[in-house]
Amino acid sequence: MSDFIRQKITIISAIVLMLLAGCATVGTNFKTTGLDQLRLMESTESDVISHFGQPFKKQARSEMGSEFQLLVYVYAEGTPNSGKSRRLATEFVMGTLNAYLFHSALGNDKTDFDANSRLGLVAGQSRKSDVINALGKPHGEVRFPSVLLKNEYGSLPEVVPPDSAATALVYNYLETVRKKSLLTTQLKLVIVYLDDDTIVEVRYFDGTL
């Protein structure tokens, strides 16, 4: 089970308990105005903390011969029938930003998107600018090697990068809703893998975690 799914279960459980106590929020409602300032291989941990405050969670990972430092920000609101959250996960290598991923089902910064817009993208032909023209500003960017996608989405096959991928643009939206007696989390995910500026592969997932 991924760190993301474990944390979602923790958040949902906390929301249920807090609802019983008359409270329905978890985490700190961090500001998102700093998202446009994130730059791979330029932004530092200090920059991220300056923009977003102290993280909800810090984690160190060692894989593929590299050391990764993860800073994660989480805020969630719940009702008896649904849970909505805002989450920013950032990854650093040697102190500089290597990857980030943002999602929100709250307020004006919702990351919902039209996944069908990916259908016009062609591997080996379409470029990074074509992706952004079709799908808009990405919710996340990744530079490989990286553990962020695996850390967020666990064993989903869509998060395993093709051998020739150097970077990825990520679009995601998720929301927790009650179906009958169960709370379930629905994820919509598009990952566009690129070799420098050209698409290597476009992957899509839409289902329940």
Length of the chain as a residue count:
209
The pair of three-digit structure tokens given for residue 7, joined into one six-digit string: 């944390």
Confidence of residue 209 (pLDDT cuts 50, 70, 90): confident
pLDDT digits (tens, 9 = 90+) for 9-49: 555 555 555 544 555 777 888 989 889 999 999 999 999 99
Q: In 10 A of CB 73, how many CB atoms?
A: 24
Rg of the chain (C-alpha set): 17
In sequence order, the 6+-apart residues with CB closer than 8 A to the CB of 32 are 86, 88, 102, 104, 109
- 141: phi then psi, degrees, rounded to nearest 5: -135, 145
In sequence order, the 6+-apart residues with CB closer than 8 A to the CB of 134 are 117, 118, 120, 121
Q: Are 108 and 114 in contact (CB under 8 A)?
A: no
The pair of three-digit structure tokens given for residue 174, joined into one six-digit string: 């998720």
**First and final CA of the chain: distance in angstroms?**
10
Q: In this structure, which amino acid lies at residue 208?
A: T
* Extended beta strands in 180-208, E state: 182-195, 198-208
Tell which residue, 195, 189, 190, has the closest CA to residue 126: 195
Report the distance separating Cα 47 and Cα 92, nearest Å.
12
pLDDT digits (tens, 9 = 90+) for 88-144: 999 999 999 999 999 999 888 999 999 999 999 999 999 999 999 999 999 999 999
pLDDT digits (tens, 9 = 90+) for 138-197: 999 999 999 999 999 888 999 999 999 999 999 999 887 777 777 777 899 999 999 989
The pair of three-digit structure tokens given for residue 84, joined into one six-digit string: 């909505």
Domain ranges of the chain: 3-208
